[in-house]
Amino acid sequence: MLPSVSTLWPEPPPPTADEVAARLRTERRGHVLAMRMERTDKRNAIDVAMTTALDTALTTLDDDPELRCGVLTGGPEAFSAGTDISVGPGAPTPRGGNYGVVARRRTTPLIAAVEGIAFGGGFEIALACDFVIASTTARFALPEVGLGLAANCGALFRGPRALPPSVARQMLLTGDPLPVERAHELGFVTELVEPGRAEARALELADRVAARSPVAVQATLQALDAALRDADNRGWADTDDAVARVVASEDRVEGVAAFFAKRAPEFTGR
């Protein structure tokens, strides 16, 4: 089951090939595919071109038998600020779901390398990866409730799985950031490194994964995925229910309007 198409934004025109190419830089390093989001002026906020680029790269990662591990990063300043609220991320893709990432049934391991913010959908992309390497500059947050929205890319069920449920609830219900040191202490961040070192360390670990038996790694990943499949399907259905409720609310309209006006929202609970 894939999350339903959001009704918050009109359907955007298809991105051009140049727009897609500009959003994500990919590099093959032996059996490892390194992917870097490159929309620094928008803190790697995800629009339809970014969704298309991510979906294409991750499909290559899964379908090319020469690739055994992937690393996804946003560069030294920001991992991702999540959805570009001004235009939306485009429709979920058939294989990847939202952003081309979060509902994908991957057969190849994927490591997130986080510097700077991973907010909203950026955090949810990290939650969808197999493990997370972060520098001391990283910050994680789920600020959707402050916009009158609900997290719709997996955090409602993956958050309480990756973190103690009480911590996930606090993030989801307050929108307050989780310091990276705390995220490491709680086990969500696998390794904490110095600023500027997250991608390099993630690539080192990707090389270690790639040196192992591809058959054994793939079988292990698929078994782990199968163990969570039923829970994930229920999680996506419950997420769709939550999103449908907020989409129909006046609070959602007020929250988004306040965001663009750079003012505090005045929620009414309707």
Q: Tell me the per-residue pLDDT of 11-29, one tens digit each, with 9 for 90 and over.
A: 888 999 999 999 999 999 9
Q: Is the pLDDT of residue 171 over 60?
A: yes
The CATH number for 122's domain is 3.90.226.10
Q: How many domains does the chain have?
A: 1
Give the per-residue pLDDT at 11.
84
- Annotated catalytic residue within 124, 181, 185, 254: 124
> What is this structure's pTM?
0.95
Mean pLDDT of 105-120: 97
The tokens of 5 are what? Answer: 């198409």
The per-residue pLDDT of the chain, averaged, comes to: 95
Residue 165 inside a domain? The answer is yes
Residue 207 inside a domain? The answer is no
Q: Is 144 a catalytic residue?
A: yes
The domain of 251 spans 17-195+214-261
Give the per-residue pLDDT at 1.
37
Confidence of residue 179 (pLDDT cuts 50, 70, 90): very high
- Annotated catalytic residue within 27, 66, 115, 144: 144
Residue 11 inside a domain? The answer is no
Residue 139 inside a domain? The answer is yes
Confidence of residue 7 (pLDDT cuts 50, 70, 90): low
Closest CA to 171 of 151, 147, 187, 191: 151
Residue 267 inside a domain? The answer is no
Q: Is the pLDDT of residue 257 over 80?
A: yes
Distances (CA, A) of 262 to 141, 249, 259: 19, 20, 5
Q: Is 204 a catalytic residue?
A: no
Give the per-residue pLDDT at 9.
82
Residue 206 inside a domain? The answer is no
Residue 1 inside a domain? The answer is no
Q: Is the pLDDT of residue 152 over 70?
A: yes
Q: Which of 161-175, 192-206, 208-222, 255-269 has the lowest mean pLDDT?
A: 255-269
Residue 25 inside a domain? The answer is yes
Give the per-residue pLDDT at 99.
98
